A and B are shown apart, each in its own frame.
Chain A
Amino acid sequence: MTETTTQQTSTGRHVLDCCAEAERASSFSRRSLLKALGVGTVAIAAGPMVGMRAAFAADPGWSGDTVVVLSLRGGFDGLSAVAPVADPNLVSWRPTIALPANAAIQLDSLFGMHPALVALQPIWNAGNLAFVHAAGLPEPNRSHFEAMDVMEKAAPGSSIRTGWLDRTLGLHSAGSAFSAIQMGSTSIPEALVGPVPVLGMESISSFSLDGTNSTADRNKWAAALNAMHANAPAGLQDSASGTLAALNTANTLATANYTPANGASYDNNSDIARALKNTAQLIKANIGLRVLTIDLGNWDMHAGLGHVDYGWMYNNLTELGGALAAFATDLGSTYLASTTLVTMSEFGRRVQENESNGVDHGWGNVMFVLGGNVTKGVHVKMPASGNLLDDANMTDGDLTATTDYRAVLADVLVNRTGASGADVTAVFPGFTGSTLGVTHT
């Protein structure tokens, strides 16, 4: 168990050491940071009973894409992943860790992708990958806890306590038990906190009754629990039958020997690859999946970020790129047409490297948008004059966030889930920015 150190802020209050906490956040284990924050599966009554047949029927209450939100925990260094390699300042800010222009996979006249993301190159070429750069919170917040809190509640200056994804789902009528899923862990992110029920599962196969090892076992348990709930009050009975139906569906999927399509290959040793493989299977099973969240950490690279061809960033990006590419390939054009994946991170990292060959907490960041209806390109609001990384265009040494992260999410909601302007305001109260065109209808 990692030792935690505590620091005292200038106000004399104890703040948990940010980076020890970010480390905890990186694991899919039960003791994740979010669990420690006490974020749980706040939920109300389960939706209508999902029988075997109904589980595979269409979801009339949702006609939009399946929205997958991949949270890169710890502060993803967008300037490494998608670097402004043609910016004259980059190398002077990052003498040892800047992405060299000749190693980058060119995206446009300014930006290049880290070579560790080479698996994504075909996805980019096919027009299914876009980036939004210099995106972030409207006000910089360099505290892991606070930034995640503000970002995921997405209702600054209000007393609203739910998450933006919960409010998004709340715009629609109730869906199946599988409408909102946290994949890879049972602790639910703040973005999904609220009245809409959420399923947290480490994997499809883990979504089962402990101790049951076969379909025969599971059927035996289901029959017993079902029978014993026959005289329970309606709420308890409904939740029992709903749960048994969901378990049945999960068992069918888990035992189906899922084969990825189009030659997609997922790394079995990678948590994110496994999570995305399960996600693809759920999407194709057509069981009413609307929103799915995944956590991937640790990106809190204060020291030893590494080199262009080896090290921490290289390893992380290789794993991420491989998993995303497999996911896109596996879905193929049919399913990509109704899927949008977007990455988020609580903040980007400082432009200038520190003395430990790493980078500290910053502001502006890159967001990946992957799907069948994205507008290929690196979307960025450039400064009025000069270069992106001119000191004058930066803020306290950080990449200035010139695009509100909510604009990216609103873009997805409007173009890919049919949200109206009023819907966007309901999900993002107080947000008045316009959409970007990073996705299209």
Chain B
Amino acid sequence: MDKAVLSRRSLLAGGATVAGVAALGAGAAAPAEAATASIKKVVMYRVGRFTYSSRTHVTTVKSYTKVTVTARFVGSNVYLMNSRKKWTQIPYTWSKTKKGLWYNHYLKLKLDAAAAVAAAQNSPTGGYKVVAPATFASVSTYHSSSDWARHLLRRAAYGPNAAGLADVKRLGYAAWIEQQLNPGTINDSVCDALLKRLYATPMVDQSTAIWRVNHLIDNGDINSWEQYQSVLTDLTIRALWSKRQLLTVMEDFWGNHFNVTIFKDGTAESRANYSYTIRTRAFGKFSDLLLAITKHPAMLTYLNNRDSTATHPNENQGRELLELHTVGVDTPYGEDGVVNAARILTGIGVDSDSGEFAYQPWNHWVGAVKVLGFTHSNSTDTGGEAVVTALTTYLAHHPATAKRIAHKLAVRFVSDTPSDALVTMLAGVYLKHDTAIAPVLRALFSSTEFAHSIGAKVARPYEHIVSTARLMEVQPVLQNLDAPQQLWYQADNAGHNPFGQPFPTGWADTSDEWESTACTLARWNNAIDLVSNWWPSDWNRPALYDLAVGPALPSTHGALIDLAATRLLGQPLADADKTAVLTFLGVTASKALTQNSAAVTYNLNDWLSVLMDSPYQMMR
């Protein structure tokens, strides 16, 4: 068959087909064979129960129903006609001994992977560019369907503020996202100046070599606690004021996917550099990020791989590499997989003097290794690093990893229960682009499901307090950076220190994990304290009156509430909610409003806090 015909169009027209021996998860489909197609009535042993070994790829059919079907054969591929009268390949092959079609689960897995790729190719842009969705829709009565700008900023940023809204509207949906995916092109001078203050001598910025930070701590120039805290303050400064918002959101995301619990013993000299490592790879290929994380001294310390030796391998990092970082616990790598992964990882360690990564061949376990479909002779102690690279590349490209990362991103940005179709599409984009993340995000933000998910997520404590601070238009003071530091303490108080989840799992991103009474009350109080400027209080910020009311005072209380809601939330409150606020203030809608009214003086912080504690701001 003419290779020129193998354009995307021909593949889409014919349906993705896979010959029996194509590699699992490969992006390109094998060419449709030129062999003569034949159609005949045959026996099919329609499978009921079966077992499958992921190690040997052998399918054992336990039960079946014998039926007669009309099948089309092209080479070894078998097709049945589907309900839309299209020949669709089925995971059955011709069995000579049984003289009928016999189920092959390995083939099914490959067909599924190819279908994912095809789905990606069917998506609006397949990850190549952002296309603004045609329509937006809200799933919440608290959020307007038409306010796509606030929706975008509640998801791809830490919430709307005046500058953010202006940028989004000026650039438009697609261009704003594209710019966010290229953070180096964004002028971030305000945030840069703040970070420079954070890293004023004796502190050093996150890109500093670990050995140098180690040295500064040894000398007593830098205090370990302050070094750890700087990681959280850095994140919070960015979340509040950086224009590179999506990058910051992704630092938070990857920082939890690859959790190294902050303040964990032994990572004082490496944890800041770890954040830097994440940020510089946040939008690139997951395989690159995974390798850098796997070899980073912070991770090697946190999951004990630096102590792992050939004679006594420590399985902690090997296990989490599979369970948490890549394929996930539902993939049958088995205890064997963990043992082998741990063996492969032996030798990647840390030099005790400098704290830097060091490959230590004397620690490396030598011998054939196998993890899922990955095998390697691993025959020399000096060759271990290459095996690690090969393993992480394999794992990054595994369809289960693609699905897990796609699912996590969908939960982060779309809803707690994203559809299978969306996840499959995103996984396909991931694989098609060699595990690159930026295309996945492009496809995600182009999707109808994202556009129709306005108001679907609940703000976790850190998100809630940071977005409330952004709404309050807080700005830093000249003298110190106490306020952002106090802000993450407040989130910590509510159970959400952004890098503080005590286990390698990282924080959950679904609302059910954050519904306790303690967490709810803490979020409410955090907003009250912030709005009222009780704690933190070291900000430069507009007066609440200027924020909520502006230059023209309305003449009634009802109009006041409409105005403030529109200014802060982008829309007036629903009637029942407006009534609730009026009742709270002890007034009627028509009651006259003056400059001295309680509602714009000593009660202003109260009812604005009520708004911040309501679903209007608790949901995002």
Residues of A within 8 A of B (CB): 3-6, 8, 11-16, 30-31, 35-46, 145, 159, 161, 177, 186-188, 190, 193, 197-200, 207, 209-211, 220-221, 223-225, 227-233, 235-236, 238-240, 242-243, 246-247
Contact = CB atoms under 8 A, between A and B. Distances in A.
Contacts of A4: 223-225
Contact of A211 (B142, B528, B584): B528
Q: Which 3 A-B pairs have the closest CB atoms?
A: A38-B500, A12-B352, A43-B516
B565 to A, nearest CB: 12
B436 interface: no
28 contacts: A6-B224, A14-B265, A14-B266, A14-B268, A35-B489, A36-B263, A37-B263, A38-B500, A39-B500, A43-B516, A44-B515, A45-B515, A159-B319, A161-B505, A177-B517, A188-B495, A188-B518, A210-B529, A211-B606, A221-B584, A224-B580, A228-B577, A228-B610, A230-B576, A231-B142, A243-B521, A243-B524, A246-B521
Contacts of B142: 231-232
A235 B615 CA distance: 12
B144 to A, nearest CB: 14
Interface stretch (B26-34, B379-387, B506-514): B506-514
Contacts of B577: 227-228
A282 B449 CA distance: 48
Contacts of A6: 217, 220, 223-224, 268
Interface in B569-583: 574, 576-577, 579-581, 583
Contacts of B59: none
A209 B517 contact: no
Interface in B211-253: 214, 217-218, 220, 223-225
Contacts of A188: 495, 518
A225 B265 contact: no
B503 A161 contact: yes
Given A37-B500, A188-B495, 20 more contacts: A6-B223, A38-B262, A38-B497, A38-B502, A39-B500, A40-B502, A41-B516, A41-B522, A42-B495, A186-B493, A190-B502, A199-B516, A210-B525, A210-B532, A211-B528, A225-B614, A231-B142, A233-B619, A242-B520, A243-B517
Contacts of A36: 225, 263
A117 to B, nearest CB: 33
B470 interface: no
Contact of A239 (B266, B515, B525): B515
B520 A239 contact: yes
Interface residues of B, number: 73
A225 B515 contact: no
Contacts of B355: 12
B593 interface: no
A161 B583 contact: no
A235 B502 contact: no
A40 B609 CA distance: 24
A177 B518 CA distance: 9
A120 to B, nearest CB: 32
Contact of B489 (A8, A31, A227): A31
B502 A239 contact: no
Contact of B512 (A45, A177, A224, A240): A45
A220 B583 CA distance: 8
A177 to B, nearest CB: 5
A13 B301 contact: yes
Contacts of A211: 528, 532, 534, 605-606, 609
Interface of B: 140-142, 214, 217-218, 220, 223-225, 261-263, 265-266, 268-269, 301, 319, 352-353, 355, 458, 489, 492-497, 499-503, 505, 511-522, 524-525, 528-529, 532, 534, 574, 576-577, 579-581, 583-584, 605-607, 609-610, 613-616, 618-619
A233 B458 CA distance: 9
Contacts of A145: 265
B387 to A, nearest CB: 25
Contacts of B263: 36-38
Given A31-B489, A210-B528, A227-B577, A16 B265 contact: yes
A161 B502 CA distance: 8
B516 A229 contact: no
Contact of A41 (B140, B352, B519, B619): B519
A201 to B, nearest CB: 8
Given A193-B502, A209-B524, A236 B618 contact: yes
A43 B518 contact: yes
A238 B514 CA distance: 12
Given A38-B502, A197-B518, A224 B619 contact: no
Contacts of B214: 14
Nearest to B531: A211
B141 A231 contact: yes
Contact of A40 (B458, B496, B529): B496
Contacts of A190: 502
B517 A246 contact: yes
A11 B265 CA distance: 12
A46 B577 CA distance: 24
A233 B143 CA distance: 13
Contacts of A38: 261-263, 492, 497, 499-502
Contacts of B217: 6, 14
A13 B217 CA distance: 11
Contacts of A193: 502
Given A14-B268, A232-B619, A224 B225 contact: no
Contacts of B269: 14
B517 A3 contact: no
B520 A40 contact: no
A428 B495 CA distance: 26
Residue among B141, B518, B520, B524 with the highest chain A CB neighbour number at 10 A: B518
Contacts of A45: 512, 515-516
Contact of A16 (B140, B225, B500, B534): B225
Contacts of A238: 515
A18 to B, nearest CB: 11
Contacts of B505: 161
A65 B522 CA distance: 29
Contacts of B301: 13
B518 A228 contact: no
A379 B574 CA distance: 66
